[in-house]
Amino acid sequence: MNGDEASEEAILRAADLLAHGGLVAFPTETVYGLGADASNEAAVRRIFLAKGRPADHPVIVHVAGSAQLASWVRHVPEPARRLAEAFWPGPLTMVLERAEHVLDIITGGQNTVGIRVPSHPVAQKMLRAFGGGVAGPSANRFGHVSPTTAAHVRAEFGDSLDMILEGGQSEVGIESTIVDLSRGHPFLLRPGIISVEQLEAVLGETVRRPDAHSPRASGTLASHYAPTTPTRLVAPDALERTLAVAGVRVGVLARRPRGANLSAAVWVEAPDDAGRYAHELYADLRYLDTSRCDLILVEQVPDSREWDAIRDRIGRAASPERN
């Protein structure tokens, strides 16, 4: 964590803004969130307006600790208790049956709510000072690349938010793992740095892939986390060939240095370690997206499980549905 963290005073001001219906971007260990009081419908509506997000998409609620889980859900099943114990505060979101009072604008009209306890110290202090739940999707325009620094948030929203809390570069770099515990069996709704194996080790049962009955989640749309520049995935051994015939200004994200004879205009060398790759991914995509390229080529990552969450994100960034 670097030194550019919000002061205590700024954090108290953020909590006060939230209490008065304000929009506050805040750092978490995964990505920055766009926060509003989860119990204030008008405030949450402002999140949707700012993001340009469809109104029926649910947003997750951030709380300071596991003790607050019970006040947002109908009941806390044993598996949720165990996962909270093992992974909170941290990059895990649990989807559970909603408590009666949870607003439809939070749940997208579904009977479940997503809850997360972030570990970032600034988020923790803000949530404790505020006291309630903070609705917080990632602080980017709908479908766009998630922000991992306060500067990214500023680039997305300019001065249109009430406040942006500083917290340095997000440590994890990609969004939380989402597990649905509302349906008897655990389902993985979004892969993240907390892996299926880690979840299964704590739960003692298999975590399933989403099925036809799984709830809508915008992070599960084919095209998401996407740069504005057309973006394509290429197999490592096809990169040279693709560059040779591209005929336009190309930006490359690859886990190796630029070869001497490669014609890419911009080359970003990504770490060859899944954790560090995730940490850099969104900053790398944003950098490439602002480098005036006509095309971004992302080299495919290994097939192994530790790269699951990254394969998911780069696959959506490069989805042909959007580009």
* Residues 143-202 within binding reach of ligand TXA (CB under 6 A): 175-176, 178, 189
Element (H, E) at 253: strand 250-254
Give me the 13-32 binding string for ligand TXA, x by CB under 6 A, dash otherwise. Answer: ---------------x-xx-
Phi/psi at 139 (5° precision): -85, 60
Look-up: residue for tokens 């940490």? 279
CB of 309 to Mg ion, least distance (A): 14
* Residues 60-89 within binding reach of ligand TXA (CB under 6 A): 60
Measure the CA dihedral 83/31/51/104, to 10°: 10
CB of 241 to ligand TXA, least distance (A): 35
Contacts of 291 (CB under 8 A, 6+ apart): 251, 265, 266
CB of 67 to ligand TXA, least distance (A): 19
In the bound state with ligand TXA, the residue whose beta carbon lies nearer, of 113 and 264, is 113
* Residues 128-147 within binding reach of ligand TXA (CB under 6 A): 136-138
- Give the chain's length: 323
Contact (Cβ atoms closer than 8 angstroms) between residue 118 and residue 194: no
Q: With contacts defined by CB under 6 A, name the span among 82-90, 125-133, 211-219, 303-311 that binds ligand TXA.
A: 211-219
Site size toward Mg ion (CB under 5 A) is 1
User: What number of other Cβ atoms are within 10 A of residue 116's Cβ?
Assistant: 25
Contacts of 253 (CB under 8 A, 6+ apart): 268, 270, 284, 285, 288, 296, 297, 298, 299
In the bound state with ligand TXA, the residue whose beta carbon lies nearer, of 44 and 250, is 44
Q: Which does 221 bind (CB under 5 to 8 A by kind): Mg ion, ligand TXA, none?
A: none
Among 13, 24, 73, 116, interactor with ligand TXA by CB under 6 A: 116
* Residues 120-149 within binding reach of Mg ion (CB under 5 A): 138
- Which CA distances in Å does 202 have to 73, 75, 79, 113, 139? 21, 20, 8, 22, 31
Told to check if 170 binds Mg ion by CB under 5 A, we report no
CB of 140 to Mg ion, least distance (A): 6
In the bound state with ligand TXA, the residue whose beta carbon lies nearer, of 57 and 258, is 57
CB of 9 to ligand TXA, least distance (A): 23
Site size toward ligand TXA (CB under 6 A) is 28
Tokens for 226?
């996407």
In the bound state with ligand TXA, the residue whose beta carbon lies nearer, of 144 and 311, is 144
Q: Which does 318 bind (CB under 5 to 8 A by kind): ligand TXA, Mg ion, none?
A: none
Phi/psi at 246 (5° precision): -60, -45
What amino acid occupies position 226?
A
Written in H, E and C, the secondary structure of 310-323 is: HHHHHHHHCCCCCC
Residues that bind ligand TXA (CB under 6 A): 28, 30-31, 33, 57-60, 93, 95, 107, 110, 112-114, 116, 118, 136-138, 175-176, 178, 189, 215, 217-219
Binding stretches for Mg ion (CB under 5 A): 138
